[in-house]
Structure 1
């Protein structure tokens, strides 16, 4: 799955590839939501009829259906992700606590196989406290594994059936690798060239003003007969007028460097930190109790959507109140390992999770059988699995985005929901341009464009991604289940699908980053044809439970 970035930071990606203009913005979040666009504040909680905004009607549900009711169950949602800032002010009291574990005593008090797992577990580290932050992509790992055997093979003639499969995988991964590496190296080259011009211009201005820092107004006020200085001033003023900031330039350059140095680096192998065999599911004595990790920037907004404190006037409102987040850190910056995901799913099930949110994905899954067995285990234990459809603007009925509810044995998980992303615009731009779709493999949609969410260190940011549509569904599921615990996971899934809000006449642009003007009916892009809705789901849940009790 393409990396989810803050809305403003993501906009910098094309600045050199198109016209050479710059549209930078500071990444890393802001200290107050008031510093972000108010038009997008909490819109996912709003109602299409009452507020004229196609959110999922959470506020309406609380105000009209739940005003005199009390939740009957504390729902535990396991967030398998990059790590979550459990100290964020908006998540206080919302983090799952393993009450059978004594913090920090170095003993596995509850004998579940994990030492000091008070809030969950980190599958990306070791007992010494070292943690993986960056990883390669799965196709890079496959290429590294297969290249020694197939790099000199020029024909498939004479290969066995198993070898032919490997050879085709090698050819595909090599093609993907070469294409992506070439793109990122060209971007890096452009950034380096831009940086040289920037440094030259700033040096001239600094020398003239005799100081390192200056305002745009001071820059514009420069008057000189020095041609080079005037050119430098003009160039800098133009870039600042286009939204340039040095901080965001440095941030985007670091973002591209991550691809070159880590994600696409055939020689980079941080798995030595874990020191396991990724192809052996029984080699599972690794990890540590650090659930925040070195990059909580993804799991924190995901957790905030589900469980952020409502109505405190501080930041954003989560969806479910009577909920706890079990934090499972298994997704690095790069592609996750199948084994880590499988073990995280099993940990969640064995330690009481009711719902598992999975906002990650990749194009290859060499150990898919590990994940499939874990998914079937979760299904057998009445656990709902919610997965982000991915951010590649593709039809996943015809393309892979692992993990999937389609299992290797030919069956499909019955308690799995696949989620695409919508915007707040009930028009042709309703579907996120990045969102994957599929009438067979995507179950429903949820808000995932222009969401103001939590960021680490008590900050907030505006973000896009199916990664954030998925926890909207997990949050609604947790809300419904907390009031109607009689429902099975399968019944809850059916309630969410059947109650999803349909827009039968709405035509939308096909999701594509190329801004194609080709349209289709919104109803054709998912199995349900709808958007998850808390208000309608609670009403239907009431009817289903009443019928069960007859």
Structure 2
């Protein structure tokens, strides 16, 4: 579900109703706080420092909505399976996946069709329980059944409340978009042609049109363009529409496209090799942050650098991903050589968490670092409100090669913590840039998105950079290095999710700091494969 939230977040920022930080250059997130005044991850500084040093390729799996593998700024860093012969319809490397040249798609069918929209997990759970408890009374049920019945009622109430909420919101955004379309029609221009002067000169007797004019004028005055705002408005309109038609629609079921039994958790070999799919904007944006080709005068310079190879594992639809697919995606990535896995997704219910836990343990056993986005609800992250997480179900033990990432803005001040970011002193490990992040989207385009979905690949990029230049370091050591080298922040900030409540930035995550590529590679260089004790910060890294 996290994938959809970035659309709404981006719209809010474009309208100037919840901007996360000061005006910043497109590449602010790779800059250095000391040298450039923006709290980026110091990627440019790190790469300058590493220039001339030897590095090895590192495969980073992007478990997401899909990646445009032909994008001008990504095509040179896409992983290619050396054991497969393209297009021959044979599983040449005998890994169970036919023609998996650049990754795999767990939400596609053998006939080439792909899942785009999906239910939320709450709807899937409701439907299962509805078949059992519809028209039944709680009285007379045993203890286990009463607990299930109570969940059934809870899910039903949640779905009905969301349906009641979404209807008006969908109407409102549709009305705004209609007014903007009318404005364009009267101007005789496309969204890409409209200028700030056109907006200022626009006249209308319609009250809605005048309100929209003011919104647009405000956005353009703050540095946005009409085209950007229109794109985000379209995205938000589609978001509410898809929530009603698909995400919360109890009658909608897209899984027949895949052709598997979604309740058979032992199935591993299903899907197809279309690693882009019908909506790869989110995954392509994530991939660009990690590995957009550096120095080619196009688009973005990825944090991880040109030694990264992006493996696309399509798993996340426009709706909630399924635990079965997530577990299989992690195993696929591990079995095919990924050393870092980026997971910019999450949901509020995980019916088969034990299956995901088992895959996490498998990744840890095989020395793979997993990086996960903390979520965009502006709330305290717990072990029961955001999945997947690193704590094994029913146990206190957690994974040792997992990093949970919150989102920061470009403003080094009270607005540093992005207002949408989840947080927790115990369960979020570090923060990284996640607001107004400029990166790749399909068809050789670029855009700014907001979300912890953008913060996680910053850290995945740092991890890939460290693992490529210091290949002897284990995943656990790289996790420790990233956390120990995080730059501490001695500021009071506006608490995410609140209007003006202040909190120390150090209380929002375990490290209390911002992930930094330069300090990470410096620490990795000193470590040189030696064992380190977690939690011990190097005083020389405390730069600000």
TM-score range, shorter chain: 0.7 to 0.9
Structure 1 residue aligned with 2:535:
none
- With over 3 angstroms needed to count, the CA separation of the structure-2 counterparts of 1:409 and 1:399, relative to structure 1, is closer
Residues 346 and 187 from structure 1, CA distance in 2 versus in 1: closer, same or farther, beyond 3 angstroms? same
CA distance in 2, matches of 1:247, 1:537: 37
Cα contact 2:493–2:505 (8 A) shared by 1? yes
Alignment RMSD, CA only?
Answer: 2.8
Residue equivalent to 2:485:
499
* CA shift in 2, pair 1:326/1:194, >3 Å: closer
Relative to structure 2, which stretch is displaced further, 270-279 or 300-309?
270-279
Measured at CA, do residues 259 and 366 of structure 1 come closer, stay the same or move farther in structure 2, by a change above 3 Å?
A: same
Aligned partner of 2:538 in structure 1 is: none
Structure 2 match to 1:108 = 91
Question: Counterpart of 2:215?
Answer: 242
Does 2:334 align with 1:349? Answer: yes
Larger Rg computed on CA atoms? 1
Q: Are positions 1:425 and 2:398 aligned together?
A: no
CA shift digits 1:4-58 (9 cap, x unpaired)? 4358852289x8xxxxxx99xxxxxxxxxxxxx9823111111111112111111
What are the residue-to-residue correspondences of 1:229-308 with 2, within 5 Å? 231-232=205-206, 236=209, 239-243=212-216, 249-308=233-292
Count of equivalent residues: 511
- Measured in 1, the distance between the counterparts of 2:384 and 2:512 equals 20
In the alignment, which residue of structure 1 is the partner of 2:154?
172
Structure 2 CA distance for partners of 1:12 and 1:430, relative to 1, 3 Å: closer
**Equivalences for 1:76-95 in 2 at 5 Å?**
76-95=59-78
Unmatched 5+ stretches in structure 1: 16-21, 24-36, 224-229
Q: Within 5 Å, which residues of 2 pair with 1:351-500?
A: 351-397=336-382, 399-410=384-395, 411-500=397-486
CA deviation profile, 1:199-240 (whole Å, cap 9, x unmatched): 8x779x96xx9x8989898999899xxxxxx624x7535533
Question: CA 1:400–1:238 in 2, change beyond 3 Å: closer, same or farther?
Answer: closer
Structure 2 residue corresponding to 1:49, chosen from 34, 38, 43: 34
Distance 1:247 1:385 in 2: 32
Deviations 1:509-532 (A, max 9, x none): 1110xx421111111111111111
Question: C-alpha separation between the residues in 2 aligned to 1:270 and 1:236?
Answer: 38
SS at match of 2:73: helix
Distance in 2 (CA, whole Å) between partners of 1:541 and 1:272 is 47
C-alpha contact (below 8 Å) 1:6/1:461 kept by paired residues: no
Query: 2 CA distance for matches of 1:90 and 1:397?
Result: 37
Alignment TM-score, normalising by the size of structure 1: 0.86
The CA deviation string for residues 169-200 of structure 1, in whole angstroms up to 9 with x for no partner, is 2233223212221111111233455677778x
Q: Distance in 1 between matches of 2:180 and 2:392?
A: 52
Q: CA separation of 1:420/1:8 partners in 2, compared to 1, >3 Å: closer, same or farther?
A: closer
> In the alignment, is the contact (CA less than 8 A) between 1:219 and 1:237 conserved in 2?
no
Change (3 A) 1:547 1:127: closer
1:309 to partner: Cα distance:
0.5
Q: Choose from 154, 164, 169 the match for 1:182.
A: 164
| Contact 1:300–1:455 (Cα < 8 Å) also in 2 | yes
SS in structure 2 at match of 1:50: helix
256 and 485 in structure 1: CA distance in 2 versus 1, 3 angstrom threshold: same
In structure 2, C-alpha distance between the alignment counterparts of 1:196 and 1:295, rounded to whole Å: 24
Q: Give how far 1:159 is off.
A: 3.1
Secondary structure of 1:291's counterpart equals coil
Q: State the distance in 2 between where 1:289 and 1:446 align.
A: 32
Alpha-carbon shift at residue 167 of structure 1 (Å) = 2.2
Greater alpha carbon shift after TM alignment, 364-373 vs 392-401: 392-401
2:303 aligned partner: 319
Whole-angstrom distance in 2 between the partners of 1:222 and 1:341: 50
Unmatched 5+ stretches in structure 2:
218-225, 533-544
SS at match of 2:272: coil
